[in-house]
């Protein structure tokens, strides 16, 4: 094996090096920020070859950019994928996947325990694009199997569901999808490739919101799609991918580019047309995050387990849903899919309902009250009044959220400080309860 075939390098080495080679002109060791909208062609033959996709070349930064490409390749490498395409946000990445593989009249099956923004996205996007949609309980394998119809073109779920902590049986759901020649798409945002690599378990497409743990700094919005290159898009069920494309002068992407066909189409057509490209500067910031991904994830997991254990021993707290706890129903799935830890986002319930939830959050000093996860800083949120506000009561219940549910994204601070702040928050709720 050659000295620079990345399969012989470990995850952390690849998190630092994959996707970048010091470039020939300057030798810059850091990934340079190519803050440019466009690129000068060598000559007209080169320009034509780039636009025809006969040659790998830069044309315009809505479609490709060397800084963004270093980020895309690094995530693809860490996820064990054939390649990646970055987008302006996690939701743009998901929308781009749907826009690439779906046609009106197709059917999408999704987990009901998803990030609220994703539930809203699939509900409204599918309606506008005349795509049928079915929600299933992600824990129920028979429900996945039973939901697939002749026009089903994808199954979609999260590695770790938000915010109830459902851990997906990726291999089982992938097999159910593949039995019907259908791809499985997994949102790996909560696990990151440091904790789980869904492609290794049979997923075909993986999306990540880089906004969260990949960046880890809460400074930038971004997303990325990677694909295994294994799924047979020419199986007769995906003419929109396999047939000559009217949007690219008759090119049959899967036939011509083989394992890279879907990714080429995602970039050359979908990204070109949706225009939701990632900025080079944000890609640079995400690359800084990736360099320390597994170090940070280990600490996130350590702090998450410590806070969850502490909360689960308190009498003024109910239902701590951290899947990494020994008593979690997801424990066997965690052992299989998340041996390094079950992430750092989970929820718990305050028996006092909506009012207790509000009181608790207002009493906290160190935990930031905001709508995000995956920051170095510890974050807290009351989903029923924020991220999941657009959902009906019934949808809330299906997503595992109650009126007193508090969601935590556990950061990297000293554990004693995090616990002290949680304690004084719970005491404030208790005082309020005693007065009432």
Partner 1 sequence: MTARRYQDPDVIRKVLHEARTIAVVGLSPNELRASNFVGFYLRRHGYHVIPVNPRADEVLGERSYPRLADIPEPVDIVNVFRAPDAVPEIAQEAFEIGAKMLWLQFGVISPEGAEIAERGGLNVVMDRCLKVEHARWLGRMHWLGFNTHRVTSRRASAV
Ligand X SMILES: Cc1ncc(COP(=O)(O)O)c(C=O)c1O
Q: Which residues bind ligand X (CB under 6 A)?
A: 89-91, 115, 117-118, 158, 162, 187, 189-190, 209, 211, 221, 223, 373
Shortest CB 89 distance to ligand X, Å: 3
Q: Which residues contact 175 (CB under 8 A, 6 or more apart)?
A: 202
Shortest CB 203 distance to partner 1, Å: 16
Q: Identify which of residues 208 and 312 has a Cβ nearer to ligand X in the complex.
A: 208
Distance from C-alpha of 415 to C-alpha of 332, rounded to nearest angstrom: 27
Distance from C-alpha of 209 to C-alpha of 192, rounded to nearest angstrom: 9
**Residue 100's CB: how many other CB atoms inside 10 A?**
23
Q: Identify which of residues 19 and 411 has a Cβ nearer to partner 1 in the complex.
A: 19
Q: Identify which of residues 260 and 310 has a Cβ nearer to partner 1 in the complex.
A: 260
Phi, psi of 192, rounded to the nearest 5 degrees: 65, 160
Distance from C-alpha of 96 to C-alpha of 1, rounded to nearest angstrom: 37
**Residue 285's CB: how many other CB atoms inside 10 A?**
19
Contact of residue 90 among partner 1, ligand X, none (CB under 5-8 Å per partner type): ligand X
Is 183:204 a contact under the CB 8 Å cutoff?
A: yes
Contact of residue 83 among partner 1, ligand X, none (CB under 5-8 Å per partner type): partner 1
Contact of residue 189 among partner 1, ligand X, none (CB under 5-8 Å per partner type): ligand X
Q: Identify which of residues 242 and 408 has a Cβ nearer to ligand X in the complex.
A: 408
Contact of residue 151 among partner 1, ligand X, none (CB under 5-8 Å per partner type): none
Q: Identify which of residues 76 and 363 has a Cβ nearer to ligand X in the complex.
A: 76
Q: Which residues contact 79 (CB under 8 A, 6 or more apart)?
A: 188, 193, 197, 198, 199, 206, 208, 226
Phi, psi of 137, rounded to the nearest 5 degrees: -65, 120
Shortest CB 91 distance to ligand X, Å: 4
Contact of residue 84 among ligand X, partner 1, none (CB under 5-8 Å per partner type): partner 1
Distance from C-alpha of 93 to C-alpha of 116, rounded to nearest angstrom: 16
Shortest CB 190 distance to ligand X, Å: 6
Q: Identify which of residues 84 and 165 has a Cβ nearer to partner 1 in the complex.
A: 84
Return the DSSP state at 267: I
Shortest CB 233 distance to partner 1, Å: 14
Shortest CB 232 distance to partner 1, Å: 11
**Residue 236's CB: how many other CB atoms inside 10 A?**
9
Containing 347, the helix (H) or strand (E) segment is strand 345-349
Distance from C-alpha of 396 to C-alpha of 382, rounded to nearest angstrom: 12
Distance from C-alpha of 134 to C-alpha of 144, rounded to nearest angstrom: 10
Distance from C-alpha of 244 to C-alpha of 404, rounded to nearest angstrom: 53
Q: Identify which of residues 201 and 233 has a Cβ nearer to ligand X in the complex.
A: 201
Contact of residue 44 among ligand X, partner 1, none (CB under 5-8 Å per partner type): none
Contact of residue 302 among partner 1, ligand X, none (CB under 5-8 Å per partner type): none
Contact of residue 14 among ligand X, partner 1, none (CB under 5-8 Å per partner type): partner 1
Q: Identify which of residues 14 and 377 has a Cβ nearer to partner 1 in the complex.
A: 14
Contact of residue 209 among ligand X, partner 1, none (CB under 5-8 Å per partner type): ligand X
Q: Write out the residues near partner 1 by the rule CB under 8 A.
A: 1-7, 9, 13-14, 17-19, 21-25, 27, 45, 49, 52-58, 64, 66, 68-70, 72-73, 76-77, 81-86, 244, 249-252, 255-260, 263-264, 267
**Residue nearest ligand X, Cβ-based:** 90
Shortest CB 276 distance to ligand X, Å: 10
DSSP 98-133: HHHH--TT-EEEEESSS-HHHHHHHHHHHHHTT-EE
């Amino acid at each position: 094996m050659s000295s620079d075939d990345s399969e012989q390098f470990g995850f952390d080495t690849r998190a630092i090096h994959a996707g970048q080679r010091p470039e020939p002109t300057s030798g810059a060791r850091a990934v340079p920020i190519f803050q440019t909208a466009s690129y000068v062609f060598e000559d007209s033959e080169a320009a034509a070859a780039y636009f025809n996709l006969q040659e790998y070349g830069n044309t315009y930064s809505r479609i490709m950019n060397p800084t963004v490409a270093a980020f895309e390749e690094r995530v693809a490498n860490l996820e064990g994928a054939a390649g990646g395409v970055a987008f302006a946000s996690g939701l743009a990445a998901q929308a781009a996947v749907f826009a690439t593989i779906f046609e009106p009249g197709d059917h999408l099956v999704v987990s009901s325990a998803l990030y609220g923004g994703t539930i809203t996205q699939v509900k409204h996007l599918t309606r506008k694009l005349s795509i049928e949609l079915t929600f299933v309980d992600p824990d129920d394998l028979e429900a996945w199997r039973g939901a697939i119809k002749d026009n089903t073109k994808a199954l979609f779920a999260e590695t770790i569901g938000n915010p109830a902590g459902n851990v997906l049986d990726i291999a089982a759901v992938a097999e159910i999808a593949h039995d019907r020649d259908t791809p499985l798409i997994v949102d790996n945002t909560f696990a990151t490739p440091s904790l789980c690599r869904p492609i290794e378990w049979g997923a075909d497409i993986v999306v990540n919101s880089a906004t969260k743990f990949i960046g880890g700094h809460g400074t930038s919005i971004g997303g990325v799609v990677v694909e295994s290159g294994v799924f047979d898009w020419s199986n007769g069920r995906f003419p929109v991918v396999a047939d000559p494309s009217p949007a690219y002068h008759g090119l049959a992407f899967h036939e011509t580019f083989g394992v890279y066909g879907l990714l080429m189409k995602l970039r050359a057509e979908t990204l070109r047309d949706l225009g939701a490209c990632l900025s080079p500067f944000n890609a640079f910031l995400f690359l800084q995050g990736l360099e320390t991904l597994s170090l940070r994830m280990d600490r996130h997991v350590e702090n998450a387990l410590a806070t969850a254990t502490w909360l689960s021993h308190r009498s003024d707290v109910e239902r701590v849903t951290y899947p990494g706890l020994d008593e979690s129903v997801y424990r066997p799935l965690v052992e299989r899919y998340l041996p390094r830890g079950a992430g750092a986002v989970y929820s718990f319930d305050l028996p006092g309902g909506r009012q207790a939830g509000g009181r608790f959050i207002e009493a906290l000093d160190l935990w930031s009250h905001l709508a995000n996860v995956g920051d170095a800083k510890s974050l807290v949120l009351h989903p029923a009044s924020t991220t999941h506000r657009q959902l009906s009561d019934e949808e809330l219940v299906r997503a595992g959220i109650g009126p007193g549910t508090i969601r935590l994204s556990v950061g990297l601070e000293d554990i004693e400080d995090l616990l002290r702040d949680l304690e004084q928050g719970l005491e404030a709720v208790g005082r309020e309860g005693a007065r009432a």
